[in-house]
Amino acid sequence: MTLKRLLIQNLRNLSNVDISPSPEVNLFYGENGSGKTSILEAVNLLALGRSFRSHKHKALINYQQASFTVFGKVLGQDHSEVPIGINRTQEGEAFFKANGVNVPSAADLAIYLPAQVINSDTFLLLEGSPKVRRQFIDWLVFHVEPNFFPAWKAIQRCLKHRNSLLRRDRIDSFELAPWDQELVSLTETIHRFRAICIEHFNACIDELLEEFVKVDGIKLSYYRGWDKDTAYAEVLSTGVERDQRLGYTHLGSHRADLKITVKGQDAAEILSRGQQKLLVCALKIAQGFVFNQLTGRKCIYLVDDLPAELDEKYRSLLVNWLNKMKTQVFITGVERETLLSSWRDYTDITPKMFHVEQGRVTETG
């Protein structure tokens, strides 16, 4: 999958941008605050329906404008073109379009433009909460297993109803029973989807870890959200009193995690900041490889401020792996030559260059 055309209106300081990206490598350079990251943000909005920088929609809209619009043309594996777009208003309304018709949610856009982001916030994958790592796992599951998202939505509804019952002063086991039954079925389904993807992921990651992070004892372990030796129906039954005291369902697939350790200890506490960055890069590259293996499709990569995050040696390593993947890449940086040298020195690709200045984007070669 590649983004053939990108139009942006009134997103942050980008008033009117219309570019035709290269299907290979696109480099955006300019001073800090010029709008480089907002270009990547626009692509991410098309890919996920949300920003990787802010959850507040008003912050995305250009000053004194009523809304922002991002439109793109996606070129599929079969060379067909699919127009997709998102519009978000000051009032919070969101409109999504794909193939010329309105679609109900951002998830309907996400299937057209799978994207991975590597930026400073990416390193929360190690330091952040289990929710961050669940989202990392579920990105792959969502794009590989079409039945995952309906099951995920259904389990959110089921948990909401069960938790509402748990918060009552008195609880009737007959009222809980149908929700428990549905929750068991959905939880086992989601666990099965995740476990299959994690198995493929672990088979791929070793080679990348060997090149990126030369540290012995790195291990990735999938925790499904409850004890692996106990049936989930039993977990709900024996834990109902605790759930009632807490007012919510404390175990299940909504508590799953990807535990990343070094010789049994939390990787975030053992690895240096530089090693953490390299490990996260390896994890992100592995996502793209497994996605390609399981679907035959390719995801795009958005890399923000590459020179600031990795030194020259490891920039070249990341560039080499992105080159191996033969996928579309969008990368930002301050200095043109620093960005360009990594590709010029280590690949035979001639990137398309864009200069970003005060919200204006100009192709320079």
Domains of the chain: 1-114+301-365 (3.40.50.300), 122-296 (1.20.1050.90)
Residue-wise pLDDT for 46-96, tens only, equals 998 888 877 777 888 888 888 999 999 998 777 788 999 999 998 888 899
What pLDDT shows up at residue 171?
A: 76
What pLDDT shows up at residue 318?
A: 85
Model confidence at 33, pLDDT cuts 50, 70, 90, reads confident
With DSSP H G I counted as helix, E B as strand and the rest as coil, what are the percentages for the chain, rounded to 5? 50, 25, 30
Average pLDDT, the chain: 89
- SS3 for 348? coil
Give percent of the chain with pLDDT exceeding 90.
48
b (16+ CB within 10 A) / e for 193-227: bbeebbebbeebbeebbeebbebeebebebebbbe
Residues 12-25: what's their mean pLDDT?
91
pTM value is 0.91
Measured between alpha carbons, how far is 247 from 249 in angstroms, rounded to an integer? 7
Model confidence at 192, pLDDT cuts 50, 70, 90, reads very high
Residue-wise pLDDT for 134-148, tens only, equals 999 999 999 999 999
Q: Which of 158-162, 347-351, 357-361 has the lowest mean pLDDT?
A: 347-351
DSSP strand pairing (94-98 vs 101-103): antiparallel
Within the chain, where are the H helices? 36-48, 107-110, 124-127, 130-144, 148-166, 173-212, 232-238, 240-246, 267-270, 273-295, 306-309, 312-325, 336-346
- Rg from Cα positions in the chain: 22
DSSP strand pairing (352-357 vs 257-262): unpaired
